[in-house]
Amino acid sequence: MRSLGMCLAVIGLMSAACWGSTTIVGWDFEQGMGQWASPDPMTKISLAVGPNEANSGSSALYVKFPRVQKQDEIQQRQMPGAVMLQMPSPPAPAPTCLEFAVRAKLLTPLMVFLAPAGSPGYTRPVMVMPGAYRHVKLFLNEFLPDDKMPPPLRPLDGGEIQGIGFIDASFSLVALSAQTAPGGPMRLPMPRFGDNEIWLDDIKLTDEPPPADPLPIIDATADMAKFVAVMNADGQFDREPTGLAGKPCWVMKYRLGEKEVVVISGGVPIGALIGTAGLHVSLSATAPTTISLQVKKRNNAEYNTMLHLQPGQPLDRVVPWSEFKLGENQNDPDNKLDPGEINGVTMMDVSGALPNAQPQANELRIGVLEAVH
């Protein structure tokens, strides 16, 4: 009997591996674009039809819009470049994973959001590189609650989802730049302006369970960047299979102007860093580079430490939490860095904002950014 039980268990595992996840609700756009719409009057949504337009089949959702260039445009357009769907009822059974295929005309920081009824919603960013379709898989426990969500915070419940959407978040850089004091110590680079185009296909909510081990904040072993990379309009972003000490990495190629910084920002799910000892980072650069490694708590207090890279000398080390210090002009009512309260990690190349800095070209390679115990 024991052998029979083991055989049945093995057969069950093999069946699950063969059949994969079950789609609970999906949109392949073969029968039209349904109720997908945009709150932005300047965003045009249509079907793109043809074998070269779709990820599979013959149709995809096509979104075209001009990127925001000025702060006052953001309020006028509400959510520039957004495409959304209001679902008539939550999916059942409760999904655990969102999958979709996406491509874009411009390098795009795409914000994916899922919203329970009456809630500010949950988001997850991905970087979409120009060119071919890429497959994205986001587990629901990776999504981050909106900053406006009141405590107690809880992970996203797939059985409560009633809204789904995608937005080109480049407009947020314009908003942040407008808040930066003129003549300040640093400035954000601006994205490439003009019309952007996004194709979405094979969107589906499934029951695929998340992996047992926590996912890295930044991981180059997968072909999708689940973080935001901010650099100037001429910057390039790509993945190299063996670019960092023979291992996969993300590479950012850019030129820093006066006081200009480059930003890589990743979100941290609720409580994901509880009990951790610090962050493991692997980086390299082709120019002398000063990296500000920063973590943000849910009360908006920011702690940081500096990393220094020399050309051709990869850095691979664990940065313990004890090295992070409360930032200048920061206030933390808790007076301590509690890893369980961290909801974001940011790396900034601040080399261009240092005293007497000169403009320089750089290639920054990022292998991994992950918490360690």
Q: What is the pLDDT of residue 329?
A: 87
Q: What is the pLDDT of residue 179?
A: 72
Of the chain, the percentage scoring pLDDT greater than 70 comes to 94
Contact predicate 349/289, CB 8 Å:
yes
Give the H/E segment covering residue 8: helix 2-19
Q: How many CA atoms within 13 Å lie on the side-chain side of 196? A: 27
Q: Tell me how far apart the terminal alpha carbons of the chain are, to the nearest angstrom.
A: 41
Which CA distances in Å does 100 have to 58, 60, 166? 16, 11, 11
Mean pLDDT of 350-358: 92
Among the listed residues 142, 123, 137, 126, the one whose alpha carbon sits nearest the alpha carbon of residue 271: 142
Q: How far is CA 327 from the centre of its chain?
A: 24
Spatial distance between the Cα atoms of 32 and 22, rounded to a whole number of angstroms: 23
Q: CB atoms < 10 A from the CB of 280, how many?
A: 18
Of the chain, the percentage scoring pLDDT greater than 90 comes to 77
For the cut 70, the answer to whether the pLDDT of residue 316 exceeds it is: yes
Mean pLDDT of 228-238: 93
- Residue 225 CB contacts under 8 Å (≥ 6 apart), including other chains: 126, 127, 218, 237, 239, 250
Dihedral angle of Cα 265, 219, 22, 45, to the nearest 10 degrees: 40
Q: Could you tell me which residues are beta bridge partners of residue 281?
A: 317, 369
Place 174 in a pLDDT band, splitting at 50, 70 and 90: confident
- Domains, the chain, ranges and CATH? 22-206 (2.60.120.260), 218-372 (2.60.120.430)
For 325-339, write each residue's pLDDT tens digit.
999 889 999 999 999
Locus of tokens 């049945």: 8
For the cut 60, the answer to whether the pLDDT of residue 132 exceeds it is: yes
Place 38 in a pLDDT band, splitting at 50, 70 and 90: very high
Mean pLDDT of 86-104: 97
Spatial distance between the Cα atoms of 209 and 312, rounded to a whole number of angstroms: 40
For the cut 60, the answer to whether the pLDDT of residue 292 exceeds it is: yes
Assessment of whether the complete model's pTM goes beyond 0.75: yes
